[in-house]
Amino acid sequence: MERTSGGRGLAAESASVEHEEPIDLVSCSRDVTDVSFGAIVDTDDEPRILWTAPNGLEIAGRGVAARFTAAGPNRFERIRTSADRVFDALEHDGPPVARPRAFGGFSFHDGHAPNPPWTGFDAASFVVPRAFVTRDDTGGIWVTAVGNGPDDAYDRLDHWHERLTSGPAMRASGSGPGVTSTRRSTSPEEWNEQIESALGRIEDGRLTKVVLAQALSIDLESSVDVPTMLERLRRQYPNCYRFLVSHETGGTFFGAPPEQLVSKRDDRVETEALAGSVARGETPESDDELATRMLADEKLEREHELVVEAIRDQLEALACELAIGDRRVRKLNTIQHLRTPLSATLAGDHHVLELVEALHPTPAVGGVPPTNAWETIRQTEAFDRGWYAAPIGWFDADGNGEFAVALRSALAVDDTVTLFAGNGIVADSDPAEEWTEVQLKFRPILDELKTR
Ligand SMILES: C=C(O[C@@H]1C=C(C(=O)O)C=C[C@H]1O)C(=O)O
């Protein structure tokens, strides 16, 4: 597998695992009828995580029972090794759905270092929260606490059970904090130059596709309440993932991505190619017309098929059976995409992080060939991708898990939120059209930041 992304060697190879002694953790769960998901993530004095998948699994947690961090190209494997040690010694008293999982993500580039604005965001970082709430796809809800030994675990469970069931349920209320000023990483003129330069590389054969992105920094009238905003995004983007990751130091990374990187349960793997975009139409007729045109567009088909082929090639190496579904249109509130589902049965025993490593970055966010695309991205973009467009999600003791691609995402630090969005560039791409599509991808979060 080719692994020579951004600035290899810039960040020292390292891995660390942190937990309070003794290492043997115990977790216990209690079912509840109603609970405030917001109450567990309503203050930022401790690390917080929030994860909602379109299939219904929803988890919000805080605190650190164990933390795994790693840097460098081998960070996927290092995280797995550190986590295995902790999970092997963990005992869970409760239903499997409420079991402890490790939540977190990876940087886009291998050479990432946690410099501002990405302070606190290592090249790979996962936490097993001290306390969390789980809602499954049938609506069952559990509170789980993780302690150092059974007494500590049950004390923590009593505390959180009491605290979470006595508060009001979270409402998707209010409006955005209001925008005072905005700054772009890339002006329209700079964007045109970047795209022309990428098209030059495509013409001379160094590249077939590259995804170039921009950042948009927004100063707010007041700080943003991210959990409440994610609750509002649930209404606007019900079929998207929603996530939040924050550390003690640094900002809060959050988003509502439409794209699954991979889900793995035992030997079953699901993923998708999501690439190729057009706007939504003003009327149902113009909307359908745009979708029909997108399905028939040869440039978009090429751009999309590169993603399908790359995913297929990576999965084939690990699977005994692979199915590629039909290409369809995926409609979101502000944009529509081409989507092809892929599923596979694994040939052997593989951890979900092996799949994440194999797939990231797909050409939906990187390019073809991967090394030249990585290099082009690093040489071209005027901002640090950090965790944007990288794997975000969870894994468990059995190596099962689910990851989204951290798109339609933003990093909140104090009263500033930086949004990220990009688009695939292939031969014949038009800089002005690409600019317009990128602006549509800022909209999910941008719309929520404005007061209405
Ligand atoms: C890069 C982004 O989106 C990706 C690129 C797409 C495209 O080039 O058409 C479409 C969906 C995503 O895979 C983004 O949202 O920032």
Phi, psi of 219 (to 5 degrees): -90, 135
Q: Tell me what pLDDT residue 452 has.
A: 63
Query: How far lies 144's CA from each of 84, 168, 389, 392, in Å?
Result: 20, 19, 30, 22
407 lines ligand 1 (CB under 6 A): yes
365 lines ligand 1 (CB under 6 A): yes
- Tell me which CATH code domain 179-224+259-449 carries: 3.60.120.10
Q: Which atom of ligand 1 is nearest to the CA of 365?
A: 1
Please indicate whether residue 381 is annotated as part of the active site.
no
CB 167 within 8 A of CB 101: no
Q: Which atom of ligand 1 is nearest to the CA of 405?
A: 13
Nearest CA to ligand 1 atom 16: 421
Q: ipTM exceeding 0.95?
A: yes
Query: How far lies 176's CA from each of 208, 219, 241, 413, 452, in Å?
Result: 40, 12, 20, 16, 7
Asked whether the CA dihedral 60, 132, 355, 78 is positive or negative, the reply is: positive
> How does pLDDT run along the chain (452 residues), one tens digit per residue?
344 444 333 444 566 766 544 468 999 999 998 887 778 888 778 999 999 999 789 999 999 999 999 998 899 999 999 999 999 999 999 999 999 999 999 999 999 999 999 999 999 999 999 999 999 988 899 999 999 999 999 999 999 999 888 866 655 567 788 899 999 999 999 999 999 999 999 999 999 999 999 999 999 998 889 998 999 999 899 999 999 999 888 899 999 999 999 999 999 999 999 999 999 999 999 999 999 999 999 999 999 999 999 999 999 999 999 999 999 999 999 999 999 999 999 999 999 999 999 999 999 999 999 999 999 999 999 999 999 999 999 999 999 999 999 999 999 999 999 999 999 999 999 999 999 999 999 999 999 998 76
Give the contacts of 170 (CB within 8 A, at least 6 positions apart).
36, 37, 38, 39, 227, 228, 231
Nearest CA to ligand 1 atom 6: 275
Length in residues, the chain? 452
CB 146 within 8 A of CB 129: yes
Question: Is 0.90 topped by the overall pTM?
Answer: yes
DSSP 392: E
Domain positions in the chain: 14-166, 179-224+259-449
Structure tokens at 346: 């694994």
258 lines ligand 1 (CB under 6 A): no
Please indicate whether residue 2 is annotated as part of the active site.
no
CA distance 281 to 209: 27
